[in-house]
Amino acid sequence: MKTNRGSDRILGDNRQVRVTEVIIDRALCIGAGNCCGIAPDLFDLDDDGKAYLISGDFDDHSRIIEAAWSCPTDAIAVFGDGGNILYPPPDRRSFRDA
Ligand code: SF4
């Protein structure tokens, strides 16, 4: 069953991906807290109101992608095996690189 979740759109039928690294660009983070709401066991806000990782447990890849997708500034980059970037997708990367 298809849903409207960001992770479904990003991952499509490829459910076998393994998240190996998550990087938060503190310069892009505006402290909106969306990532913390979706994955409170992975993300928290520091004293500067910037997100940081509180765990390296990346087993729930769909939720990590969902948290990254929820970020209004695409401050969260998610990588998989071989350093492949899983998020943001190519059509949103120009926003990060600008
Ligand atoms: S959703 Fe994005 S902007 Fe908001 S706290 Fe998380 S990383 Fe920062």
Could you tell me if residue 80 is inside a domain?
A: yes
Asked whether 22 lines ligand 1 (CB < 6 A), one says no
| Residue in 22, 25, 42, 43 to alter for ligand 1 test, most ligand atoms within 8 A of Cβ | 43
Summarised one tens digit per residue, pLDDT across range 45-84 is 999 999 999 999 999 999 999 999 999 999 999 999 889 9
* Closest C-alpha among 40, 24, 9 to residue 74: 24
Could you tell me if residue 97 is inside a domain?
A: no
Task: Identify the bridge partners of residue 77 per DSSP, sorted by sequence position.
Answer: 23
24/88 Cα distance (integer angstroms): 12
Could you tell me if residue 10 is inside a domain?
A: yes
Number of domains in the chain: 1
Could you tell me if residue 98 is inside a domain?
A: no
Strand 51-53 relative to strand 76-80, pairing: unpaired
Could you tell me if residue 52 is inside a domain?
A: yes
Summarised one tens digit per residue, pLDDT across range 4-59 is 566 666 666 656 789 999 999 999 999 999 999 999 999 999 999 999 999 999 99
Task: Identify the bridge partners of residue 72 per DSSP, sorted by sequence position.
Answer: none
Atom of ligand 1 nearest to the CA of 74: 2
The residue whose CA is least distant from atom 2 of ligand 1 is: 71
Retrieve residue 75's tokens. 């401050």
Could you tell me if residue 19 is inside a domain?
A: yes
**73 lies in which domain range?**
6-92
Q: Is the pTM of this model over 0.75?
A: yes
